[in-house]
Amino acid sequence: MLDSRPFSPGHPLTGIKEEHEAFPPFRRDEMPLLASTLLTSRQSAAHHPMTESLQPGIYACLLVMLPLATLTLGLRFYARRIKRLRPWWDDYLAVVSYLAAVAYDASIFVFLKYGLGRKMSDLPIPQEEARYYEPQLQETQEHTYTISIGAAQLSLLVLYWRLFKSDRGAKIAIQVLSALVVGWLIARILVATFQCVPPEYFWDKAISGTCPVDPGQFFIWSVSTHLAMDVALMILPATQIARLSIPVAQKAAIAGMFTFGAVVCVASIVMLVESTRYNAKEDEIMWNTAAPAMWSAAEIHLSVMACCLPVLRPAVKSLGGLFVPRFSSKGGVYPRDLIQLESSAYIRNKAKRDRNESANQLHHYARAQGDVSSFGRGSETEIYTKGPREDVESRHC
């Protein structure tokens, strides 16, 4: 039987009983009041959410990509210095691409202070100022992005011209692609500049004007066009490399130097997807512009790296030879291992052809173990046959 007598004053459970009596349980008639209090607290929290921001991702992208692009461009000129060769047009175009990328980054850093990547309610500046400055950011991005992408593509095409100009099909393809890249560059700059009439109306709606160009559609079509050209820039050397008379592993090593553009294509595809989501008429302009701006930054820096990678072997070899493919065995390169881009019939009839036509530079490229930088300004290579073996003779214009 339980003891129903009260606890003595010194009993250890006496304090618990007193606290229980001091805080009695809720009664049923008090439950609506409790529910109302909880609902009010939840609504108050909804009016003060945690600040959303895409800025950390943008900062991470810029702080990773810019040093990598700087490193690859520096290694490009270091390779030239090792070979004691003066820069040529492909080097100058790579510099133009890099400088445009730096200008793009500078504009992004400036507008991050204005609230790029934040909601309109969290901006550090008034919303009217944000609506005024955001189109200026977009205008700057469009010009620097266009110059960086176009210059990187032209740099690769100049390199291809030095390597493949003796191949008639490759020569025509390079000329066509060069015309397309230049046309794309000019058209995009003109459309970006005059998408509104007058151009100032794009960011200053206080003046009278009109904007016949939809920015979202403009992004989609321009990115799609240069994405197709990036794919063509990968296919062009791949078709030449596939005809080499060397082991598959060596083909893959050479192809890897020219097809880093596949990474650029991935960034372009992501940029294309983000362009389809962009709506210039939505109010959250600083938030909606953040993702396209970030992926555009990644794309242009990868383009700089892609146009520099094929000529970095001397620099990498000088710094330790890490990840540098070897195109010869211990016994050296035998005549049968020389590159055979041209058919044997073409080589036999070489003497009957125009002696001023240079042979394909990729022969020398493979024999030099992938060292494109050894081809100085205006260097040309002729291949001719003497008996059972093939000799390679280089001459400089």
Q: What is the DSSP letter of 3?
A: -
Is 241 exposed, middle or buried, given 0-12, 13-18 or 19+ CB atoms closer than 10 A?
Answer: buried
Could you tell me how far CA 115 lies from the centroid of its own chain?
23
- Structural domains in the chain, CATH included, are 55-314 (1.20.1070), 335-396 (no CATH)
User: What residues does 33 pair with on adjacent strands?
Assistant: none
Is 135 exposed, middle or buried, given 0-12, 13-18 or 19+ CB atoms closer than 10 A?
Answer: buried
Amino acid present at 332? G
The mean pLDDT value for 61-89 works out to: 91
Which residues does 101 contact at the CB level (< 8 Å), separation at least 6? 66, 69, 144, 148, 297, 300, 301, 303, 304
Q: How far apart are CA 58 and CA 114, in angstroms?
A: 14
Q: Check residues 397 and 110 and name the one with the higher pLDDT.
A: 110
Q: How far apart are CA 269 and CA 8, in angstroms?
A: 80
CA atoms within 13 A on the CB side of 294: 22
pLDDT reading at 44 higher than 60: no
Using CA atoms, how far residue 100 sits from 13, 75, 94, 143, 320, in Å, is 79, 19, 10, 9, 31
pLDDT reading at 114 higher than 70: yes
Hey, how many other C-beta atoms are within 10 angstroms of the C-beta on 61? Answer: 19
In this prediction, residue 68 carries a pLDDT of 95
pLDDT tier at 28 (50, 70, 90 boundaries)?
low
pLDDT reading at 63 higher than 90: yes
Question: For residues 192 and 142, is the Cβ–Cβ distance under 8 A?
Answer: yes
pLDDT reading at 360 higher than 70: no
Residue percentage of the chain with pLDDT more than 70:
67
Strands 379-386 and 389-396: antiparallel
Question: For residues 303 and 97, is the Cβ–Cβ distance under 8 A?
Answer: yes
Predicted TM-score (pTM) of the model is 0.69
Is 154 exposed, middle or buried, given 0-12, 13-18 or 19+ CB atoms closer than 10 A?
Answer: buried
Indicate the helix (H) or strand (E) that contains 392: strand 389-396
pLDDT tier at 9 (50, 70, 90 boundaries)?
low
Q: How far apart are CA 13 and CA 17, in angstroms?
A: 6
CA atoms within 13 A on the CB side of 340: 16
